[in-house]
Structure 1
Amino acid sequence: MAISSFFFFFLFPPPSSLFVTAMSILNSVALITAGYTEMNGKNKQYAKFFDAANSSRKPKDHKLASRNGMLLFYTPSFLLGLASFAILPLQDPRFFMLVLVLTLHFFKRILEVLFVHKFSGFMMLNAATTIGSSYAVSTATMIYSQYLCQEFAEPSVDLKYVGVGMFLVGISGNFYHHYLLSNLRKKGEREYKIPKGGLFALVICPHYLFEVIGFIGVACISQTPYAFSFAFGTTFLLMGRSHATRKWYLSKFGEDFHKDIKALIPYLF
């Protein structure tokens, strides 16, 4: 069996859309490049390593509270998911499942921003707008790609229920470790601490690990080339970010940080 035939044994054929093809390539390249740059110390402006107040940004650059910036990340994609139910109703079960899990993913993020995470400081408005727009475009492209693939026969191997299971594991594990992080500092405290509980004894970023699991689940529900390219790129991005996070903890806490704790994958990375 040819490699391409084996590949499409599990996936829909690529839709005849230049936009989706271009986005598959651009997203993968952009996410992998972002992961590489973060691994080498060029961190995103909403990461713990970035201090907007002390950055080299020009005074005219607008800032907004971190909580509002995070809401700007996720709200457009959540609204896109809701709109898809109204604009593209009565589609096949796989399409419905994909839109549902994407909408739930961003709804959960919004709830965490409002009720779980603790914020201090500010972020740049242009950075928040760029990241929110990127999430929205990626979400819309994933939904559009799935919509186009409904004209094709189903892949020989049906992974959508496996994907639902992985998504539920991912979103639950991600929320649990976000909750543990939110409880590290009591009210009024601003100092960083080494996280404990859950999988923090094995990796410093278990919330990223479960996010990867969740997006692989989304890709399995979708079974489109775009969804898998996005999951692949996201994995590389979070590998870079978790590596940078581990390096930051080592520099800040020194010998108090256990050297056997990996960045993302227990015992491996």
Structure 2
Amino acid sequence: MVISLFLFPSPPTLFINAMSIFNLLALITSGYMEMIGKNKQYAKFCDATDSNKPKEKKNHKLPSRIGMLVFYTPSFLVGLVSFAVFPHQDPRFVMVISILTIHFFKRILEVLFVHKFSGFMMLDAAITIGLSYALSIATMIYAQYLSQDSPAQPGFDLKYVGLGMFLIGITGNFYHHYILSNVRKNDDREYKIPKGGLFDLVICPHYMFEIVEFVGVSCICQTGFTFCLTLGTVFLLMGRSYATRKWYVSKFGGKFGKDVKALIPYLF
């Protein structure tokens, strides 16, 4: 089969196979919900401080910066712990744990020192998302552990191609996050159209590079679970970028360049 040229055989465990399907369907559904306007509460085009919401829920909100740390810290800790739980593994396995740990460490650093926040998010949503990220990362690592000793290896070893894509993706993602962080100066809370980098072509180049990063992770792992997770992430970020572009068009009208796409230059 063609798939055997690129992926390890699926491990004989119902949990991994079920998680692969669940993550794929959940992420595709989330992307669709974003596209039709059912946005996540931490998106900027959702007013997390809506005064029409019940007053008692205000006690269950976190500052956005703290909420984002809740998103990423558990997954970072899963990566760190994995080095101790799975010592003396092959280069691919060490590479997988390393890139996942670096990915979430970079996210934490951005939350602390790059991104600017002004709103709040619901505590239960932050905890749910943080735990789901951590479970996905733990499952990815476990799937890799089960696959590394498989007698049937992929026909093509893509881990170094994947490493190159990962480095390009994480660098491009950080660069455009940095540009976004400088759009609003000091205490300015008015949204502006970002300029520079690839923002003149797409409104979400940080998502585009995040997809490149995830494709790189898939090439390093070469497991069915990671492939499903990456495919689902692509659909999620397509929906989110579409919603982001729609928000900018509604807010800025003719000031927003009609040739600026959502995610892929000249195409989408």
What is the CA–CA distance in structure 1 between the aligned matches of 2:134 and 2:207, rounded to whole Å? 20
Corresponding residue number in structure 2 for 1:108: 106
Corresponding residue number in structure 2 for 1:246: 245
**One-letter code aligned to 1:165:** G
- Residues 187-207 of structure 1 show CA distances to partners (whole Å, capped at 9, x for unaligned) of 010000000000001000000
Corresponding residue number in structure 2 for 1:77: 75
What is the CA–CA distance in structure 1 between the aligned matches of 2:92 and 2:51, rounded to whole Å? 45
What is the CA–CA distance in structure 2 between the aligned matches of 1:58 and 1:76, rounded to whole Å? 30
**One-letter code aligned to 2:125:** A
Alignment coverage as a number of residue pairs: 265
**One-letter code aligned to 1:136:** A
CA shift in 2, pair 1:55/1:30, >3 Å: farther
What is the CA–CA distance in structure 2 between the aligned matches of 1:129 and 1:33, rounded to whole Å? 20
What is the CA–CA distance in structure 2 between the aligned matches of 1:56 and 1:78, rounded to whole Å? 36
What is the CA–CA distance in structure 1 between the aligned matches of 2:27 and 2:224, rounded to whole Å? 16
What is the CA–CA distance in structure 1 between the aligned matches of 2:148 and 2:51, rounded to whole Å? 48
TM-score for the superposition, normalised by structure 1:
0.97
Secondary structure (helix, strand or coil) at the match of 2:173 reads helix
- Is 1:204 equivalent to 2:200 in the alignment? no
- Residues 200-221 of structure 1 show CA distances to partners (whole Å, capped at 9, x for unaligned) of 0100000000000000000000
Consecutive aligned runs of 4 or more in structure 1 exceeding 2 Å deviation? 55-61
Q: 1:39 aligns with which of 35, 39, 59?
A: 35
CA shift in 2, pair 1:204/1:68, >3 Å: same
Per the TM alignment, residue 55 of structure 1 is displaced from its structure 2 partner at its CA by 6.0
Per the TM alignment, residue 60 of structure 1 is displaced from its structure 2 partner at its CA by 3.0
TM-score for the superposition, normalised by structure 2:
0.97
What is the CA–CA distance in structure 2 between the aligned matches of 1:107 and 1:55, rounded to whole Å? 35
What is the CA–CA distance in structure 2 between the aligned matches of 1:225 and 1:245, rounded to whole Å? 30
**One-letter code aligned to 1:184:** V
Corresponding residue number in structure 2 for 1:144: 142
Corresponding residue number in structure 2 for 1:175: 174
Q: 1:134 aligns with which of 132, 135, 138?
A: 132
Q: 2:21 aligns with which of 15, 20, 25?
A: 25
- Residues 86-139 of structure 1 show CA distances to partners (whole Å, capped at 9, x for unaligned) of 111111111100000000000000000000000001110001011101100110
- Is 1:230 equivalent to 2:229 in the alignment? yes
Secondary structure (helix, strand or coil) at the match of 1:104 reads helix
Percent identity between the two aligned chains = 69
Corresponding residue number in structure 1 for 2:256: 257
Secondary structure (helix, strand or coil) at the match of 1:237 reads helix
- Residues 42-79 of structure 1 show CA distances to partners (whole Å, capped at 9, x for unaligned) of 10111001112116543333001000000000000000
**One-letter code aligned to 2:44:** K
Per the TM alignment, residue 151 of structure 1 is displaced from its structure 2 partner at its CA by 1.9
**One-letter code aligned to 1:172:** T
**One-letter code aligned to 1:89:** P
RMSD: 0.9
Secondary structure (helix, strand or coil) at the match of 1:123 reads strand
Corresponding residue number in structure 1 for 2:165: 166
- Is 1:266 equivalent to 2:265 in the alignment? yes
For structure 1, which runs of at least 5 residues remain unmatched after alignment? none
What is the CA–CA distance in structure 2 between the aligned matches of 1:109 and 1:87, rounded to whole Å? 23
For structure 2, which runs of at least 5 residues remain unmatched after alignment? none
